[in-house]
Amino acid sequence: MGKKIVIHDFEPKIMAFVCKWCTYSGADLAGTSRMDYSPNVRMIRLPCSGRIDPQFMIKAFEQGADGVFISGCHPGDCHYNEGNYYARRRNTTFRQLMDFHGIDIERIEFSWISAAEAIKWTEVIDAFTEKVRELGRHPQYDDEVVDPYAQFLVQKDQESA
């Protein structure tokens, strides 16, 4: 059992914000069923896809994520009845905002995955990882990762030495 391990030049970092009622359970099912899916994804469990604030995605990109994956229950299946409908509207506009800002919206993926769709989860995650791997590193914020205050401290340290 198990996939043959392939070594790639570049392993993308992918943040996944998922709903605990559907997608998280779906991923759990994938795990307990011993399915393989790409290990690049780092999952954060939230109560509902409606809880996923665009702030999280902005922060993820800022902190060096190469791709962001958002997932929740299918329309009509939300544990809170309507959370995913709000998430859908919010993401429609947020994607356009990121596009206008100049960030490739291919790096943001949205998917409905229910608790039973472990196979869909593995497929979607594998496909998304492959896509982001082809897009390469997300370079936009690179030269800004340096903390100016830390730089200042280092400088002071060197001066006193």
**Contacting residues toward another protein, per CB under 8 A:** 54-55, 58-59, 62, 75-76, 82, 85-86, 88-105, 109-112, 124, 140-141, 144-145, 147-149
Question: 70 has which bridge partners?
Answer: 17, 110
Secondary structure (DSSP) of 55-76: HHHHHHHHTT-SEEEEEEPPTT
**Residue 50 per-residue DSSP state:** G
Cα Rg of the chain, angstroms? 18
Sole residue written with tokens 């991923």? 27
Burial class (CB in 10 A: 0-12, 13-18, 19+), 12: buried
Comparing CB distances to another protein, the nearer of 45 and 120 is 120
Q: Work out how close the CB of 30 gets to another protein at its nearest, in angstroms, rounded to a whole number.
A: 16
Which among 28, 82, 67, 71 has a CA at the least distance from the CA of 49? Answer: 71
Q: Work out how close the CB of 61 gets to another protein at its nearest, in angstroms, rounded to a whole number.
A: 9
Comparing CB distances to another protein, the nearer of 20 and 131 is 131
Comparing CB distances to another protein, the nearer of 46 and 160 is 46
Q: Work out how close the CB of 76 gets to another protein at its nearest, in angstroms, rounded to a whole number.
A: 8
Comparing CB distances to another protein, the nearer of 33 and 93 is 93
Q: Work out how close the CB of 90 gets to another protein at its nearest, in angstroms, rounded to a whole number.
A: 6
